[in-house]
Amino acid sequence: GAVVSQHPSWVICKSGTSVKIECRSLDFQATTMFWYRQFPKQSLMLMATSNEGSKATYEQGVEKDKFLINHASLTLSTLTVTSAHPEDSSFYICSALPGGTSTDTQYFGPGTRLTVL
């Protein structure tokens, strides 16, 4: 089946530093990947839609300069949290949509827990 991985699974960083999270589709090519954010005991909130080879589309209220998204290949999208602050601490989840098929099922990664001290 389609598998999506995320790296790292958890990260702790100091306030003011930048953190990069990777999302990979392991056995399929993903023309579109999505980045979600989940606060404790809350739902997944879509942050942005990432399309291979083009700029990401950010949801309203999400700072594109703070959350940099790069989708340079059909199997990799990265989310960089720049100048992280404690309020950025959250669970970040990506999902990938297989390209070139009729399916519109998104496959989710296991998530990355970010803690900013």
Partner 1 sequence: AQRVTQPEKLLSVFKGAPVELKCNYSYSGSPELFWYVQYSRQRLQLLLRHISRESIKGFTADLNKGETSFHLKKPFAQEEDSAMYYCALRGAQKLVFGQGTRLTINP
Binding mask 74-103 toward partner 1 (x if CB under 8 A, else -) reads -------------------x-x--------
Q: How far is the CB of 18 from partner 1 (least distance, A)?
A: 25
Q: How far is the CB of 22 from partner 1 (least distance, A)?
A: 15
Q: How far is the CB of 81 from partner 1 (least distance, A)?
A: 21
Q: Quick count: other Cβ atoms within 10 Å of Cβ 23?
A: 28
Binding mask 26-65 toward partner 1 (x if CB under 8 A, else -) reads --------x------xxxxxx--x----------------
Distance CA 12, CA 38 (A): 17
Q: Give me the residues that bind partner 1 (CB under 8 A), please.
A: 4, 34, 41-46, 49, 93, 95, 104-106, 108-111
